[in-house]
C-alpha cells in the first residue's frame, strides 16, 4: 500500500483498476471490475428482491433508510479518509460530503412515506385516485467528485420508494463505493442494494441489461448521452445530471473585492471539480480592473494557504492544462498560476486567465480544475447574451445590486438554477432540472421521488349486483 507509481493514474482498463493517492502518487489499491456474470447476477438478484420490497410498507422502508443513515454517520471519518485518499478532497470537505449523504438519507426516510398520489374528482359513485409505484431495478451510476453525497441521494430516493438498486460507483473511487455499499446494504433485505465495481465498460454493460427499469446517471455529458442511447434500446427510463459550464455575471455597481471572493469560491472550491463550479466570468468594464486585481489576490491566497486539494488524477490535470494552453494559444492571458508544479501527485494552482472568448476551450468546455476564466463586457445585456450562448444549462450566478437585473437573470438565463448574489446556496426542498447538454430530469430534492416512481390512475366503479 506504500508503493509509489511514476505517474498517478486512476487506470481502469476493465481488467484491473489501479487507484493512487492524488496527493502523493502512492498506491491506494487495485480492484478487479465486475465481469458479465457478476453484472447479470446483481441484476437478477435485485429484480428478485424488488417484489417483496416494493410491497413493504413505506414507513418500514423509511425506518430502514434511517437506520442505514445512522450506520453511515458512525463511519463518517472512515469514509472521509478513504475519499481523501482516492480523490484528493481535503478531509473536512470529504467529511462534509459524507454528512451531507447522511442528511439526504434521513430526509428521504421522512419524505418517502409521505410521497403520495391524489384523489381524483370523478363520478361521485366511483372512487378515482392515482398512486405512485416503484419502477423496479434502478441502475445508479455515480461520479467521484462528491461520491458519498451523490450516491446517497439517488440510492435513498430509489430505495425508500420501493425500488431495488444496483449501484455502480466511479472507477476513480471504487473503494469508497464498495465500502458505502457494505455499510448501507445490511439495513435492507438481501439484494435490495447491490454494488458493482468497474469502469465505463461495466457501466455500459449494466445499463444494457433487460432487468434495469431505470437509469439514474450523474456524470459527464458524453457518458450521459451514451447512456441515453443505450436506454433507447431497452426502454429504461433515464435521468441524467451531467456536466455544466456555469457563467458568473459580475454587474456594474458591486463591490469588486466581494465579487472576487465569490468568483474565487465558485472557481476554486473542490479545486474546481464541482458540476456547478464557476466556469465563465463576464465582468462589467466599470468594475473589471479592480475585480481582476482582487481575483488574482484570491488565487494566490487559495494556492498558498492549503485550501486547494489536488486534481483527482494526472489524466484530469493533463486535460485541464490542455484547455488552458489551447486558450492561451488563441489569445487568452494567464495572470496567476497556469503551470504544472513539480513533484508527485496531481496538484494544480489556482489560476486566473483573462481576455477569454467563446471559442476558447476554457469557455466552450467544462473545465474541471481551479481556473477562473474572465471576459470583460460593456453592458448587462451583453453579459446575459454571452452567458446564454452555451450548450450546457446547469446553473448560473449573477452578482448585481440591481433588482431589475436580478429579475431579468431569473427570467432569461436558460439554466436549471439561477443564483443571485451567492455562488453557492439554496433552500432545502429545491429540485432543479438541468437544461440542454446538462441532462434531464430531477436528480435531487423531493421531485426525485416522482422520478423514481410511475403514476397509476385507478377508477373504481360500482358493480351491478345480481338480483
Ligand atoms: P463520467 O460520466 O465519466 O463517470 C460517471 C459514471 O459513469 C462512472 O461511474 C463511470 O464509470 C460511468 N460510466 C462511464 N461510461 C459509461 C457508460 N458508457 N455507460 C454507463 N456508465 C458509464 O463522469 P465523471 O468524470 O466521473 O464525473 C465528472 C462529471 O460529472 C462532470 O462532468 C460533472 O459536471 C458531472 N457531475 C454532474 C453533477 C450534476 O448534478 N449535474 C454532479 C456531479 C458531477
CATH number, residue 311: 3.40.309.10
pLDDT of residue 14: 53
Say whether both 57 and 120 belong to one domain.
yes
Is 350 part of a structural domain of the chain?
yes
pLDDT tens string 410-436: 999 999 999 999 999 888 888 899 999
Residues 157-171 have a mean pLDDT of 98
Q: Which residue is closest in CA terms to ligand 1's atom 42?
A: 275
Taking the CA of residue 230 as reference, the ligand 1 atom at the shortest distance is 19
Is 141 part of a structural domain of the chain?
yes
pLDDT tens string 261-300: 999 999 999 999 999 999 999 999 999 999 999 999 999 9
What is the pLDDT confidence band of residue 2, given thresholds at 50, 70 and 90?
very low
pLDDT of residue 20: 93
Say whether both 255 and 285 belong to one domain.
yes
3-class SS string, the chain: CCCECCCCCCEECCCCEEEECCCCCEEEEEECCCCHHHHHHHHHHHHHHHHHHHHCCHHHHHHHHHHHHHHHHHCHHHHHHHHHHHHCCCHHHHHHHHHHHHHHHHHHHHHHHHCCCEEECCCCCCEEEEEEEECCEEEEECCCCCHHHHHHHHHHHHHHCCCEEEEECCCCCHHHHHHHHHHHHHHCCCCCEEECCCCHHHHHHHHCCCCEEEEEEECCHHHHHHHHHHHHHHCCEEEEECCCCEEEEECCCCCHHHHHHHHHHHHHHHHHCCCCCEEEEEEEHHHHHHHHHHHHHHHHHHHHCCCCCCCCCHHHHHHHHHHHHHHHHCCCEEEECCCCCCCCCCCCCCEEEECCCCCCHHHHCCCCCCEEEEEEECCHHHHHHHHHCCCEECEEEEECCCHHHHHHHHHHCCCCEEEECCCCCCCCCCCCCCEECCEECCCCCCHHHHHCEEEEEEEECCCCCCC
Say whether both 234 and 268 belong to one domain.
no
CA distances to 241, 248, 388, 392 from 435, rounded to whole Å, are 10, 17, 12, 7
Q: How remote is the CA of residue 143 from the centroid of ligand 1, in Å?
A: 5
pLDDT tens string 240-255: 999 999 999 999 999 9
Is 63 part of a structural domain of the chain?
yes
Q: What does the mean pLDDT of the chain come to?
A: 95
pLDDT tens string 65-76: 999 999 999 999
pLDDT of residue 467: 87
Domains held by the chain: number: 2
Q: How remote is the CA of residue 270 from the centroid of ligand 1, in Å?
A: 16
Say whether both 220 and 271 belong to one domain.
no
Q: How remote is the CA of residue 407 from the centroid of ligand 1, in Å?
A: 33
Strand 333-336 vs strand 237-241: parallel, antiparallel, or unpaired? Answer: unpaired
Is 213 part of a structural domain of the chain?
yes
Is 3 part of a structural domain of the chain?
no
Please say if the pLDDT value at position 6 is more than 60.
no
Say whether both 148 and 28 belong to one domain.
yes
Is 250 part of a structural domain of the chain?
yes
Say whether both 213 and 265 belong to one domain.
no
Please say if the pLDDT value at position 10 is more than 80.
no
Please say if the pLDDT value at position 190 is more than 90.
yes
What is the grid cell recorded at 248?
Answer: 458568473
Q: How remote is the CA of residue 248 from the centroid of ligand 1, in Å?
A: 24
pLDDT of residue 306: 86
pLDDT tens string 171-188: 999 999 999 999 999 999
pLDDT of residue 289: 98
Q: How remote is the CA of residue 220 from the centroid of ligand 1, in Å?
A: 4
CATH number, residue 127: 3.40.605.10
Please say if the pLDDT value at position 193 is more than 90.
yes
Is 296 part of a structural domain of the chain?
yes
Say whether both 218 and 324 belong to one domain.
no
Q: Which residue is closest in CA terms to ligand 1's atom 35?
A: 219
Say whether both 105 and 149 belong to one domain.
yes
Q: How remote is the CA of residue 159 from the centroid of ligand 1, in Å?
A: 21
| Domain of 31, in residue numbers | 11-242+438-456
Say whether both 221 and 262 belong to one domain.
no
With a Cβ cut-off of 6 Å, ligand 1 is lined by 141-145, 150, 168-171, 199-200, 203-204, 207, 218-220, 223, 226-227, 241-244, 275, 366, 394, 434, 443
Q: Which residue is closest in CA terms to ligand 1's atom 3?
A: 220
Say whether both 296 and 208 belong to one domain.
no
Say whether both 156 and 233 belong to one domain.
yes
pLDDT tens string 328-382: 999 999 999 999 999 999 999 999 999 999 999 999 999 999 999 999 999 999 9
Q: Which residue is closest in CA terms to ligand 1's atom 39?
A: 241
Say whether both 221 and 72 belong to one domain.
yes
Report which secondary-structure segment, H or E, holds 280: strand 278-284
Contact (CB, 8 A) for 72 and 61: no
Query: Phi, psi (5° rounding) for residue 461?
Result: -90, -175
pLDDT of residue 430: 84
Is 44 part of a structural domain of the chain?
yes
Amino acid at each position: 500500500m506504500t508503493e509509489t507509481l511514476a505517474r498517478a493514474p486512476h487506470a481502469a482498463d476493465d481488467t484491473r483498476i489501479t487507484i493512487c493517492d492524488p496527493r502523493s502518487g502512492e498506491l491506494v489499491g487495485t480492484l478487479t471490475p465486475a465481469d458479465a456474470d457478476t453484472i447479470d447476477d446483481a441484476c437478477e438478484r435485485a429484480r428478485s428482491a424488488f417484489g417483496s420490497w416494493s410491497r413493504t410498507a413505506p414507513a418500514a422502508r423509511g425506518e430502514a433508510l434511517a437506520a442505514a443513515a445512522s450506520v453511515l454517520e458512525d463511519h463518517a471519518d472512515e469514509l472521509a479518509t478513504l475519499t481523501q485518499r482516492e480523490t484528493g478532497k481535503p478531509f473536512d470537505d470529504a467529511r462534509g460530503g459524507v454528512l451531507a449523504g447522511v442528511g439526504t438519507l434521513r430526509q428521504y426516510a421522512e419524505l418517502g412515506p409521505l410521497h403520495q398520489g391524489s384523489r381524483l374528482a370523478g363520478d361521485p359513485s366511483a372512487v378515482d385516485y392515482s398512486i405512485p409505484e416503484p419502477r423496479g431495478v434502478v441502475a445508479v451510476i455515480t461520479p467521484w467528485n462528491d461520491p458519498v453525497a451523490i450516491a446517497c441521494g439517488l440510492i435513498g430516493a430509489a430505495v425508500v420508494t420501493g425500488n431495488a438498486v444496483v449501484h455502480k460507483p466511479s472507477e476513480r473511487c471504487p473503494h469508497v463505493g464498495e465500502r458505502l455499499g457494505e455499510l448501507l446494504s445490511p439495513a435492507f433485505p438481501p439484494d435490495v442494494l447491490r454494488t458493482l465495481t468497474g469502469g465505463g465498460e461495466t457501466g455500459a454493460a449494466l445499463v444494457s441489461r433487460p432487468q434495469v427499469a431505470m437509469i439514474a446517471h450523474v456524470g459527464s455529458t458524453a457518458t450521459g448521452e451514451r447512456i441515453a442511447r443505450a436506454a433507447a434500446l431497452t426502454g429504461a427510463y433515464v435521468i441524467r445530471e451531467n456536466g455544466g459550464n456555469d457563467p458568473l455575471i459580475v454587474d456594474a455597481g458591486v463591490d469588486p473585492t466581494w465579487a472576487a471572493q465569490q468568483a474565487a469560491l465558485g472557481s476554486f472550491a473542490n479545486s474546481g471539480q464541482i458540476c456547478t463550479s464557476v466556469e465563465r466570468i463576464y465582468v462589467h468594464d466599470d468594475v473589471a480592473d479592480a475585480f481582476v486585481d482582487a481575483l488574482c489576490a484570491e488565487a494566490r491566497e487559495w494556492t498558498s494557504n492549503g485550501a486547494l486539494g489536488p486534481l483527482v488524477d494526472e489524466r484530469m490535470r493533463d486535460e485541464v492544462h490542455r484547455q488552458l494552453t489551447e486558450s492561451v494559444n488563441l489569445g487568452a492571458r494567464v495572470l496567476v498560476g497556469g503551470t504544472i508544479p513539480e513533484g508527485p501527485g496531481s496538484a494544480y494552482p489556482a489560476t486566473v486567465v483573462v481576455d477569454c472568448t467563446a471559442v476558447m476551450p476554457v469557455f466552450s468546455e467544462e473545465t474541471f480544475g481551479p481556473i477562473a476564466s474572465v471576459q470583460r463586457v460593456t453592458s448587462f445585456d451583453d453579459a446575459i447574451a454571452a452567458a446564454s450562448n452555451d450548450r450546457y444549462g446547469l446553473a448560473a450566478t449573477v452578482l448585481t445590486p440591481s433588482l431589475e437585473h436580478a429579475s431579468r437573470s431569473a427570467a432569461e438565463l436558460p439554466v436549471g438554477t439561477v443564483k443571485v448574489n451567492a455562488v453557492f446556496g439554496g433552500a432545502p426542498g429545491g429540485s432543479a432540472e438541468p437544461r440542454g447538454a446538462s441532462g434531464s430530469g430531477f436528480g435531487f430534492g423531493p421531485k426525485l421521488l416522482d422520478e423514481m416512481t410511475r403514476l397509476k390512475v385507478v377508477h373504481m366503479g360500482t358493480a351491478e349486483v345480481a338480483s
